[in-house]
Amino acid sequence: MSNAGDGTIGVGMVGHAFMGRVHSQAWRTVHHFFDLPLTPRLAVLGGRDPERTKAAADRLGWAAVETDWRALVARDDVQIVDICTPGDSHKEIALAALAAGKHVLCEKPLANSVAEAEEMAAAAASAAANGQRSMVAFNYRRVPALVVARQLIADGRLGRIRHVRAQYLQDWLSDATSPMTWRLRREQAGSGSLGDIGAHIVDATQFLLGDQLAGVSALTETFVHKRPIDGDPDGRLDDVTVDDAALFIGRFTGGALATYEATRFALGRKNAMRVEVNGELGSVAFDFESMNELSFHDGTDEDQTAGFRRVLVTEPTHPYIGAWWPPGHLIGYEHTFTHEVYDLLTDIHNGTDPTPSFADGLRVQKVLAAVEASAGDESRWVAL
């Protein structure tokens, strides 16, 4: 699929809440820092409420608005559809966009069920034959320190991988009086901490190892079963229908053992997305709350000087970093999304398939489904 013919490519984004704001920042600034073959145009922003959508478009830099996502998808000035909505609408919007000949960027998790994800992955594979590109927005793949860790593993610096430990710890739901949100409704979100943040660590570990989980055994828990309806004058409560925390073990096809923890009830932890990988020759460890750093232990060092070393991932030779600031000047959360759209635009121009693909999103969806199946059946082992 070609661009507009003037070196630009039009983006239509559906949704303008938290993720919409982050994506807008990426689309608006990427060409100011990266040498791009295509310059994105923020053509149209989609939202249900006309006044709120117009206000968001003015604030975030979008040229026009649509209150019907179908009208947005159909516009001639839109070549990329960016989906920043709750999971219950991902499939319908993505399938319509692909049918209309558009490229698609879709927030994670890809869908609310394996069946939906399978349909989306199949449609994306068919559309790829027509030059359409699709990507799932697992932004942590674009953290420079994690890309360095992946390269260390691929280069054999850790040797055979034995252990993987992954956590995603937040605390924003720890207060039982915090109001109800769509993220706590299964019909909209699909699952709770499992899909919201657990999906990230599943994808990140599979990305780091270049391997897939072969099976899992899991526990999930809902700590607060009812929450106040935001703004309800009568103080009524609504049912929480998703998990608050998910714990599971797994095994990779290459034999490595893995442990995962995803919770939004870890009081004091704000966005502690952590991964540690232990191999026969070394280890790497990462914590997103110190996202510019990677801890690396080279097990072949002499005992007297061996230990984890702090690698500050800010040199221009590190992935993505050369586009930003001098060494030691740190980047942040929003930059991972800028890297994401840079890679997508580059792939669109080059005619190459982006990663993570919808097929990658489907693989993560299958893990999420296996975790729920295991947790619902006394933690039995569920093969993938």
Which of 89, 121, 140 is the last residue before a domain boundary? 140
Is 384 a domain residue? no
Same domain, 221 and 311: yes
Number of domains the chain contains: 2
pLDDT digits over 108-149, tens only?
999 999 999 999 999 999 999 999 999 999 999 999 999 999
Within-domain flag for 358: no
> Which of 100, 123, 140 is the last residue before a domain boundary?
140
SS3 64: strand
Q: Which two tokens stand for residue 47?
A: 């939202």
Q: Are residues 42 and 162 in the same domain?
A: no
Could you say which of 140, 162, 196 is where a domain stops?
Answer: 140
Tokens of 83: 């989906």
Q: Is residue 27 part of a domain?
A: yes
What are 280-306's pLDDT values in tens digits? 999 999 999 999 999 999 999 999 999
Q: Could you tell me if residue 51 is inside a domain?
A: yes
Per the document, the length of the chain is 384
Enter the pTM of the model: 0.96
Same domain, yes or no: 45 and 185: no
Low-confidence ranges of the chain (pLDDT < 70): 1-4
Please check whether residues 75 and 148 belong to one and the same domain: no
Q: CB within 8 A of 372, min separation 6: which ones?
A: 191, 194, 218, 220
Is 321 a domain residue? yes
| pLDDT of the residue at 6 | 85
Nearest to 11, CA basis, from 46, 35, 36, 37: 46
359: in domain: no
State residue 3's pLDDT score: 53
User: 163 with 292, same domain?
Assistant: yes
Per-residue confidence (pLDDT) for residue 372, from 0 to 100: 98
Is residue 380 included in any domain, yes or no? no
- Pull the structure tokens for residue 155: 């280069």
Domain presence at residue 315: yes
Residue with tokens 């890809």: 110
Same domain, 84 and 170: no
The answer to whether 215 and 382 are in contact (CB under 8 A) is: yes
Same domain, 211 and 327: yes
Residue 280 is part of a domain; what is its CATH number? 3.30.360.10
3-class secondary structure, 20: helix
State whether 275 and 301 are in the same domain: yes
- Same structural domain, 182 and 295: yes
Q: Are residues 331 and 210 in the same domain?
A: yes
* Judgement on whether residues 101 and 210 belong to the same structural domain of the protein: no
The residue type found at 312 is: L
8 A C-beta contact, residue 15 and residue 85: yes
Helices (H) and strands (E) in the chain, counts: 11, 17
For residues 154 and 105, membership in a common domain is answered with: no
Determine the residue type at 89: S
The domain that holds 70 is classified in CATH as: 3.40.50.720
CA distance 93 to 108: 14
**Considering only CA atoms, which of 21, 2, 40 is closest in space to residue 341?**
40
Domain range holding 320?
Answer: 142-353+364-375
pLDDT at 4: 56
Residue 86's contacts (CB-CB under 8 Å, 6 or more residues apart) are 182, 183, 188, 189
